[in-house]
Chain A
Amino acid sequence: MRRLTPYLLALPSWMWLAIFLVVPMVAMASVSLQTGNAIDGFAMTFSFSNYSDALGRYSTQLVRSLFYGGMATVAMLVIGYPVAYWIAFKGGRRKSMYLFLILLPFFVSFVLRTISWNFLLADNGILFGTLKGWGLLPDDFHVLATTVAVVGGLTYNFLPFMILPIYVSLERVDPRVVEAAQDLYATRVGAFRRVVLPLSLPGVFAGVLMTFVPATADPINAAILGGTANTMIGNIIQTEYLTNLNYPTASALSFTLMAVLLVGIFIYARALGTENVLEAAAR
C-alpha cells in the first residue's frame, strides 16, 4: 500500500491531464485525418493530405505568425529584461508595488485592452491627432492596420510573462556574488556579462517560452489591430473552424503549429544548453 501512495496522490492530476489534455489531443488528431463535411458528418479516412493541403494554402500565414511571434519576443526581452533588472536590484522596499503596477492592466480582459489601443492609436485620436495638429506628423501617417501595430500589441499583451520569470531568477542572485566578482577586478559590465546574465538565463528561457508560444498562436491582435496583410495562423484556424466548419483543416493546422513550435523550442533548448532548461524546469 505504501508503495502505491505516491501514485494515488498523483492520481487527481493525472486524471486532469488525461481528461483535459490527452483526450482532446487524441480527438483532434483523429479529426485532422478525417474527411467529410459538417452536415453529413466526418469519417476517418487517414487522409494525411489534409496536412499537405492546409500547409500549401496557409504557409504564408504560418511563417508570418512565427516571424511576428519572434519579433514580439525579442521586443519583450529588450524591454522586459531591464525592467526586471531594475526592480530586482534597485526596487528596494517598493519591489512588490512595482510588480503589482506591471500586473495592474492585466486585471482588464485581453480583448478590451487590445480594443482600447484602437482608440489610443486612431489616425486622428488623442495621440496622433494631436501630433498631426502640431504638424509633427504627415496627415496620412497611421499605425493601426500595420505590422507595427500587431507586433506592438503582442509585445504589450504578453510583456508581464516575460518580466516575471526574469525577475524571479534575478531576485535569486546573491548580491555577494556580484561583489565577489568586482573584488576580483571584474568591471561592472564584466560582472553583469559573466555572473548576473548567466544566472538569469533560466528566467530568460522560461520567459521566452511563456511569450513566444502564445504570441505566435494569438488571433486577437491581428484581428483587432492588423490590416489587409497581417492575418496570422490563429485567425485562419478560427475561420476554418467556426466559419467554414472545416474541422479537419483546422485540426491539421493546429497540429502543424504545435509541431513547429515544439521543434523550435527543442532547437532553442539545445542552443541554450539542456542544463539550463532542466534548471528552469526545476525551479
Chain B
Amino acid sequence: MNPRLHTRRDAFRIAGFSAAGLALAACGVQGQKAAPPKADAVQDFWSKQTKHGKVVFANWPEYMPEDQAPLKAFQQATGISYEYKEVIQENAEFFGKADPVLRAGQSLGYDIVVMTNGIQLQHMIELGYCVPLDHSKLPNFAANAGQKYKERSYDPGNKYTIPYTSGVTGIAYNTKYVKEDITSIQALFDPKYKGRVGMMADAQEIGNFGMFALGIDPEKSTEADWRKAGDKLKEQRDAGIVRKYYDQSYIDAVSKGDVWLTMAWSGDVFQRQLAGEPVKFVVPDEGGTIWTDNMLIPKGAANPVDALMLMDYLYQPAVAAELDEFIQYVTPVPAVQDLLREKAATAKGEDKKALEDMVNSPPMFPTEADYAKLRGYTPLTNQTQQVFNPIFQSITQA
C-alpha cells in the first residue's frame, strides 16, 4: 500500500470523526411550547390582514362532492378563487410531515387544513401552529352551529378550530356473508368469524373498542383500564379472529368480502351503500366513538382572511346541507336535517328514498339517546400517550 495515501486517508478519518463528534453534540431538536396568545395580539394580527382573492384548502379524500359545487358557489359569491387538495390521509402522517416545516417557521402552503380531534391536533394547538380565529368574522358559525359543536373539550371556545364534520366509529358488515343482524360489539370478538374481522390500526380507535367491549367509558378511563382493554384485544388477535389492522383501506376489504365485519367510519359505509355495495353500518349497543374533524388555519398561511370567509361560508345551512348530502357524516349544522327533509318531500323515486334514509339515520343525525351511547377518544397528554400508544401498538404491530 502506498504510505502517502495511507496517512492522507488517516488524516481524513480523524478530521471526519472529530467533526462528527462536534456536530453530534451540537444538533438537538428544539422544543417550541407556545404560550397562549393575548387577546389584543389576536386582534392586532387580524387587523393587519386583507382579502387576497385566493384560498388553498387541504382536506381528506371523499370529503367534498366530486363536482366541488359548494366551493364553486363560494367562488361565485365572493370572487375568491380556490384550490382544493385531498392531501390528508391520516392525522399522524400529516402531522409528522407538517411539524418540521412549521417548526422551521415556514408555510405549509395551505390556508385551511382539516384534522381530527386527537393527540396530533392537540400538538398543533400546544405548539402554536394554529392561527387563533377571529370570531367577529364567523357570523354563520355563531348563528348555525349546534351547541355541542361550540363546546368541545379539546378546543374550548373554538379558539383555534371550528368543526368541518363529525363522524361515528362503529361496525360495518357485509350482508352477503353475515346473515345475522349485528347489534353487539361482541360480534367482533366472536370465534365464529375467525379470520374475517377487521380492526383499526390507530391506537385511539382500537383502544376505544377494546374498552367498549369491557364496558369501560374511554373518556374516563385510567391506565389500568387501557391494560385490560389491551389484554382483551390481544386475546382477540391470538385467537386468530383478526385478519388485519386496517387504515382507510378497511372499506375496500369489507365491500369485497375479504373481511366480513370490521370497525368502520359511518360516512364511508353510507357512500358505499349509495354505490350499491352490500354493506351495513351499526353503532354497537355497548357504545361507539364520536370524533370531529376540524378546520384550522395553520401558522404562516398566506390567505387567512379568505380562509376564514370560506370556513364561515360552509356554515350556511343550505351549503352545509349540500355538503352533507354527499359526505353523509354528522354535520355540525342541525338545521340541515330539516332542509333535507323538505328536499325529500319534493323528490321522487330513488332520490326520495335515499334522502329519507339519510334524515332518519341515527349515525347521521344522532338523537339525544344516540349521543348517550357515543363517547369521545381517551383524552391523552403528551406524557400519557407514551403509555397509551405502546399498549395498543404492541397488538396492532406485533
Interface residues of A (CB under 8 A from B): 26-27, 29-31, 33-34, 36-44, 60-61, 118-119, 122-125, 140, 142, 144-145, 223-224, 226-229, 231, 235-236, 239, 241-247
**Residues in A neighbouring B32, C-beta threshold 8 A:** 41
Contact B242 A228 (CB under 8 A): yes
CA distance A142 to B382 in the complex (A): 40
Can you name 22 A-B pairs with beta carbons within 8 Å?
A26-B27, A30-B23, A34-B28, A38-B29, A39-B127, A42-B31, A118-B249, A119-B256, A122-B258, A124-B258, A125-B256, A142-B195, A142-B258, A145-B258, A224-B249, A228-B245, A239-B393, A242-B92, A242-B96, A243-B389, A245-B96, A246-B386
**Residues in B neighbouring A229, C-beta threshold 8 A:** 398
Picked from B195, B237, B243, B397, the residue with its CB within 8 Å of the CB of A235 is B397
Contact A123 B258 (CB under 8 A): yes
CA distance A125 to B252 in the complex (A): 12
**Residues in B neighbouring A239, C-beta threshold 8 A:** 393, 397
- What is the minimal beta-carbon distance from B128 to any residue of chain A, in angstroms? 11
- What is the minimal beta-carbon distance from A128 to any residue of chain B, in angstroms? 10
**Residues in B neighbouring A33, C-beta threshold 8 A:** 24
Contact A40 B195 (CB under 8 A): no
CA distance A239 to B25 in the complex (A): 26
**B99 CB–A CB distance under 8 Å:** yes
CA distance A26 to B22 in the complex (A): 10
Interface residues of B (CB under 8 A from A): 20, 23-33, 92-93, 95-97, 99, 123, 126-127, 195, 203, 237, 242-245, 247, 249, 252, 256-258, 382, 385-386, 389, 393, 397-398
Contact B28 A41 (CB under 8 A): yes
**Residues in A neighbouring B20, C-beta threshold 8 A:** 26, 29
**Residues in B neighbouring A243, C-beta threshold 8 A:** 92-93, 96, 203, 389, 393
Q: With A60-B398, A247-B29 in contact, do A39 and B243 touch (Cβ < 8 Å)? A: no
- What is the minimal beta-carbon distance from A10 to any residue of chain B, in angstroms? 14
**Residues in A neighbouring B244, C-beta threshold 8 A:** 145, 226-228
Picked from B24, B33, B256, B386, the residue with its CB within 8 Å of the CB of A40 is B33
CA distance A239 to B242 in the complex (A): 20
CA distance A227 to B245 in the complex (A): 7
A123-B256, A242-B92 known, 19 other contacts, Cβ within 8 Å: A27-B27, A39-B33, A40-B33, A61-B397, A118-B252, A122-B257, A124-B258, A144-B258, A145-B243, A145-B258, A228-B243, A228-B398, A241-B96, A242-B95, A243-B389, A244-B389, A245-B95, A245-B96, A245-B123
**Residues in B neighbouring A145, C-beta threshold 8 A:** 243-244, 258
- What is the minimal beta-carbon distance from A7 to any residue of chain B, in angstroms? 12
Q: Which A residue's beta carbon lies closest to that of B395?
A: A228
Contact B28 A37 (CB under 8 A): no
**Residues in B neighbouring A119, C-beta threshold 8 A:** 256
Contact A39 B245 (CB under 8 A): no
**Residues in B neighbouring A235, C-beta threshold 8 A:** 397
**Residues in B neighbouring A30, C-beta threshold 8 A:** 23-28
CA distance A44 to B249 in the complex (A): 39
**Residues in A neighbouring B31, C-beta threshold 8 A:** 36, 38-42
CA distance A172 to B256 in the complex (A): 49
Q: Which A residue's beta carbon lies closest to that of B195?
A: A140
**Residues in A neighbouring B257, C-beta threshold 8 A:** 122-124
Give the one of A226, A227, A228 with max B CB within 10 A: A228
**Residues in A neighbouring B389, C-beta threshold 8 A:** 243-244
**Residues in A neighbouring B28, C-beta threshold 8 A:** 30, 34, 41-44
CA distance A94 to B148 in the complex (A): 69
Q: Which B residue's beta carbon lies closest to that of A60?
A: B398
CA distance A226 to B256 in the complex (A): 17
Instruction: Across the A-B interface, give the 4 residue pairs with the lowest CB-CB distance, nearest first.
Output: A41-B31, A242-B96, A243-B92, A40-B31
**Residues in B neighbouring A231, C-beta threshold 8 A:** 397-398
- What is the minimal beta-carbon distance from A6 to any residue of chain B, in angstroms? 14
Contact A41 B29 (CB under 8 A): yes
Picked from A26, A42, A61, A228, the residue with its CB within 8 Å of the CB of B29 is A42
- What is the minimal beta-carbon distance from A231 to any residue of chain B, in angstroms? 4
Contact B258 A37 (CB under 8 A): no
